[in-house]
Amino acid sequence: MKSLLTYLMLISALVASSQDGSFNLGGRSSGMAGASLTIGDEYSLFNNIGGLGRVENHAAFAAYQNRYGVKEFQVIGAGAIYNHAFGNAGVGFYKFGDDIFSQQRLHLAIGNKIQMVSLALGVDLLQYHVSTVGSHQVLAIQFGGIAEISPQMRFGAHIFNLNQAELSSETGERVPTVMKGGFSYLPSDELIISVEVEKDLEFDEVFKVGLEYQIIDHVFVRTGISTQPFIGAFGVGFHPKDLKFDYAFSNDSRLGNIHELSIAYAIKK
């Protein structure tokens, strides 16, 4: 009974923070408390598809999150990007939960970079599963972009669920529509400072601040904070040649600790 009560409390807290409208993934993003809106790398496929057009090679990647020390709340995700002269295409898979309750996402996106602006459009097949009820699938559309205002300044924006997909015709409940906007400042080649705001139409704004610093060749340290709830994060990365290894630790003030490991491999043409 105690484990069931804990499980239900965690589910309620996650729903209250609009967990099903945010699919951020990757140790780099998590180490910056999710302040990765203007970063164009492999995990843009999950964090802001607007960065998809900035990826310069074919790539494959995968990530694992251990949330709050509860195995039923683990997250796994993986994807691949195909790089082409006319634009990039990406496919990704994301799963949260277990056999009792889970969210799964199959994601397809296309993006391109034109001069200093990169834009992308994506379609998501979302599946919500509750063991006592069954499964339900919906389609959601997302759009994002990153603009390089100057060599030191970038602006990013992203909206998830443009079409306001409906979960239940009986209750009128819809998939959360989440909008994000923010800037990053790059005072040097080694340092990135990011500030952004995230807004679910049904909840208060979430503010995020993140920092990444390259301390030596191939080695990065990161930190960040976000609100609603308060989350403090720290991360490290090791990027030798075509491989990227990233780890992040964060603490949710309500629920506990989150560990994340991610890997990415760039496939040169």
pLDDT digits (tens, 9 = 90+) for 87-103: 999 999 999 988 888 99
What's the whole-model pTM score? 0.89
**Does the structure show a pLDDT above 70 at 140?**
yes
Tell which wins on pLDDT, 21 or 247: 247
Q: How far is CA 94 from CA 12, 23, 239, in A?
A: 20, 8, 23
Separation CA 105–CA 218 (nearest Å) = 32
Strands annotated E in the chain: 58-67, 75-84, 87-97, 101-114, 117-130, 134-150, 153-160, 178-188, 191-200, 206-216, 219-226, 231-238, 243-252, 256-267
Ranking 1-10, 232-241, 248-257 by mean pLDDT, the lowest is 1-10
